[in-house]
Structure 1
Amino acid sequence: MAELSLRNIQKRYGATTVLESVSLDVADGEFIVLVGPSGCGKSTLLRMIAGLEEISGGDLDIGGVRTNEIPPQKRDISMVFQSYALFPHMNVRNNITFGPRMRREPADATEQALGRAASILNLKDYLGRTPGQLSGGQRQRVAMGRSIVRNPKVFLFDEPLSNLDAKLRVQMRTEIKALHQKLGTTIVYVTHDQIEAMTMADRIVVMNAGRIEQIGTPLELYDRPANRFVASFIGSPAMSFISGTYHRRGTDAVVDLTGGGTLPVNPVDAPDGTRVDVGIRPENYVFADDGALQFKVEVVEPTGPETHVFGTIANEEVRCVFRIRLDPEPGSILRLTAEREHIHLFDAASGVRLAETARVQ
């Protein structure tokens, strides 16, 4: 196992900058997930760690050794690709042991490593099959087995579940997390799916436009997003936003919503009259007879355990999730509110989350 250190990593293609001064420390044995929208630079960063992309600037250390110029095969890392990259004419046994055989490692050690990988990944009954005789989830396990037999310092995963159906994705998320618990190896995992990030990571790195927006545990990012981008990206369904103006009123504070209405909030570190975006997660809306928010229903989506309701508050689009069964008519008005601790305020100009302050006594 090994720790990773990225210091001011840059990637340029001519005059185009893809990654701009990315710095990140990954502890030995940590499961880190890089998440962000398509084109944010997460896969490019992973390929730079693997040695498949040249580093334009900055330093990459693996296990305390500067690795910028070290070729991929000598970095003691292993990468699992989205496409599996299996040899279709070879059976599972030969696919998994291809690397050790090419490196002319001892046959008994290779067989022992194969047995360990097959046991961990439940592949013992499939060693004689070819990839064409396997399901998508089984092929992904074979690709992981090929990495395990190498016993690398660092595992790299590049969107490995993108080709699987929804049920298999859930199953494989659990299997990859269980694999990490068994092996304790450092893992850097790339995905655009924030549910994968939330359920698997020790820490999440949220990326956007070639830079890091925030690093933290899944619940840190969920409960205290650094800015509006992180707040809207982490969470499913996404957080809704309502524009307004922040005011202090004696010992309390309120936001006068642009489209009408006043919402009590906790005081934040911002001048009176600051333009803000009020962020409330869909599951944090609650019914209240004296609710400050009038929610006009447009679409109702029952899911069984929950009811998703799409509509508007103060003329802005909002989605609510209720953990009860209800069937409001489109066009009807629901009176809602939210606990103050579940209301996030973001500066409308910068998008930065405004820190709460103690109430004035």
Structure 2
Amino acid sequence: MGVEGAVLLLALLVAPGHGRGNHAGQIVTHDHGARAGCAAARCAQVKPVGMETGKVKDKQLFACSEFGPESGPRRGRLNMRRNMPKHGVGGWKALTNDDQQWIEVDLLYDRLILGIVTQGRQDLGRRGGEWVTSYTIQYKKNLSPVYLYYSTDGGPKVFPGNFDKNTPVENLLPEPLEARWIRINPRTWNNHISMRFELLECGGYCVRLEPVGMEAQIIKTSQYKASSIYNARKRPGLAFYGFLNNPNGAWSPHTIHNGHYMEIDLGEDKLIGGIVTQGRPGKGFLMEEWVTSYNIQYRNNSCNAVDYLRDSKGNPQIFGGNFDKVTAVRHIFAQPFRARYVRVRPRSWHNYISLRMELLECADV
């Protein structure tokens, strides 16, 4: 089965009434928690990044070692077969067997990864078969200086690998992973470290994001609205102070409770694909203020705002906010939305509700 079949099966598995980890259709799917299925279901399209089809070029593939020129990382594509399409073996094969080996793909820009499909080496008999039985994932964003391990509990998450050389085994990530470089680290293996793989991405998000213009002050003072401001004399509390990297202050409401909001009128409907937030600038303990979590509402010209991505219980999605007053924290939305008015509602905060922000629009549509 090609990766297109794997994607079709993924769509079936996240539908109501289907179990997890079934051997249906000669593919094994591991959904690591309910959030993985939810993330896939929210995407407009789940699709392969292009390892199997060749959309990912040979020059984008790397490995720390290879057994020989016929078994390099270019052979590590899902459903690769011996001498097809070029001379070589049926998979990437590491030079040595240890847990320091890796194979990596450079996706060229940050992309939202939902899962991974792996196989063993195609061109060996059953007794001499080679495949990876477990692995971890490292990743690096475009502007990040270091690789990080994919983790859900503080330590590297170990994913189950293959049990034969050909059956595709699909692992859905508990949380989508935004990164440019994805590195697979085999941890255990059968006979020798050899593998083929494909990554699954969310095709319903924006390939290229650009600021709507809050920081650049293209968004004018009159386009800001808030449930309240700290007071009319404390200018840093005014709503239009709530733009990213404003050195003079931030938006703060008159009181602190989770009913407050700051709303931006974009002037026209735009496809919004992300958000960046910061806390209040300034020195001293009294300026240690930022929002630690929030939800998002949006509307067009209608009066009623709707919550971004309610769950099965009717609760809006809560985004993690800031951990200090300076660092800009970005979220890319699994499902972009089209709106003129975007409202951010703080749900928790450090010391006081203070917010600077920028909205990101899809620039590739």
TM-score bucket of the superposed structures, by smaller chain: under 0.3
Q: Which has the higher helix share?
A: 1
The two structures have a TM-score, normalised by structure 1, of: 0.27
Indicate the structure (1 or 2) with the bigger Cα radius of gyration. Answer: 1
